[in-house]
Amino acid sequence: MAELSRTSGVPVATIKYYVREGLLPRGEVTTSPNQADYGPAHLRRLQLVRSLVEVGGLSIAAVRATLVAVDDPAVPLHHTLGMTIAAAGPGTGGAPEDAAQREAEARIDELLAKKGWRPHDGAPGRQAAIDCLATMRRVTGTRLDSVLAPYADAVEAIAEADLDTVSALTDPEERVETALVGTVLGDRLLAALRRLAREHVSARRFPPAAEETS
């Protein structure tokens, strides 16, 4: 375990915690009762767990349930991804039932119908989109409604790219790992790139005064 800790950069105490919680298999017992072997498969699983928990922010329970699905070949990848999306998605609920909320729900459902997207009943993404748009409307009215269509077009292209990457892999474990990490961390990467792009476009459209750049 000490070697696994050195290789992965994860403290021994954290590794032991992951083992106790069922996120990481126990090492193979050697001839010594106080030692166990941790091989490449353990390092690979540890890196996946670390990305989901420490970077992705998933709860231990959510990661455990996801890994159970990952290890069951009978569970379709689509179902495993759905579990992860639900666990990693923004919280919903508690939004006021006012006109902005009702109008936002109608607008989002109109967009879904136009795009031909058919989320499952109770899809957290749909409710999160409604809550977000309703909040935007309470502050800015309908001024930001114009971003919905280009946002939807952009994220559909991103989703196609995500799944193209997964589909190109032939190893089942690699496909699952890639899909999970892309799902959990892709949102963060997308947000970071959006900020960089906005800074670039803003500087081009609204160039600072000459004295500010000198």
Given a cut of 70, whether residue 180 has pLDDT beyond it is yes
- What's the confidence (pLDDT) of residue 93? 58
Most confident of 10-19, 50-59, 81-90: 10-19
Lowest mean pLDDT among 36-40, 146-150, 172-176: 172-176
Most confident of 22-31, 158-167, 175-184: 158-167
Cα separation, 77 vs 88, whole angstroms: 16
Question: Counting runs of H as helices and runs of E as strands, what totals does the chain give?
Answer: 10, 2
| Distance from the Cα of residue 203 to its chain's centroid | 30
Kindly state the tokens that stand for 134: 């309703």
How would you write 42-100 as a 3-class SS string?
A: HHHHHHHHHHHHHHCCCCHHHHHHHHHHHCCCCCCHHHHHHHHHHHHCCCCCCCCCCHH
pLDDT tens per residue, range 25-37:
888 876 666 677 8
- What's the confidence (pLDDT) of residue 172? 76
Single-letter code of the amino acid located at 92: T
Asked if 4 and 38 touch (Cβ cutoff 8 Å), the reply is: yes
Cα separation, 66 vs 75, whole angstroms: 10
With cut-offs at 50, 70 and 90, classify the pLDDT of residue 158: very high
Kindly state the tokens that stand for 171: 């190893």
Asked if 17 and 53 touch (Cβ cutoff 8 Å), the reply is: no
Given a cut of 90, whether residue 68 has pLDDT beyond it is no
With cut-offs at 50, 70 and 90, classify the pLDDT of residue 178: confident
